């Protein structure tokens, strides 16, 4: 039953994968959106892409989260810039952003 629902509602065509990839790479935090809600939204975009068979790493999701932050989060970006890319796990980024 689950596979049938996935087949109907979550097509794995090339166009759908491209749209999902575009969404995760161009996501932006909206005005009034809470940090946790934004992070979860980006995480869900990554999970949707994975479910379609697309390749997305945890670092890709972390970078998308950081890329879509507003200008008021510039200080956090500068602080995280000192870390190596391999250290920017989603859990680490999430905890640092929520601390602020």
Separation of alpha carbons 82 and 60, rounded Å: 18
Which of 3-7, 16-20, 82-86, 94-98 bottoms out in mean pLDDT, i.e. has the lowest?
3-7
Separation of alpha carbons 12 and 48, rounded Å: 10
Task: Please state, rounded to an integer, the average pLDDT across all residues of the chain.
Answer: 86
| pLDDT for 37 beyond 90 | yes
Read off the pLDDT of each residue in 17-33 and give the average, rounded to a whole number.
Answer: 92
First to last CA, the chain: 43
**Could you tell me the sign of the dihedral formed by the alpha carbons of 64, 60, 62, 87, in that order?**
negative
Is there a contact between 60 and 26 (Cβ–Cβ < 8 Å)? no
Which of 4-8, 11-15, 71-75, 86-90 bottoms out in mean pLDDT, i.e. has the lowest?
4-8
């Amino acid at each position: 039953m689950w596979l049938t629902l996935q087949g109907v509602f979550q097509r794995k065509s090339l166009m759908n994968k491209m749209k999902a990839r575009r969404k995760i790479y161009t996501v932006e935090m909206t005005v009034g959106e809470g940090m946790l809600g934004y992070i979860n939204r980006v995480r869900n975009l990554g999970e949707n892409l994975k479910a379609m068979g697309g390749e997305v790493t945890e670092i890709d999701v972390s970078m998308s989260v950081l890329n879509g932050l507003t200008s008021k989060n510039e200080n956090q970006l500068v602080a995280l810039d000192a870390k190596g890319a391999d250290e920017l796990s989603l859990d680490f980024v999430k905890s640092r952003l929520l601390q602020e």
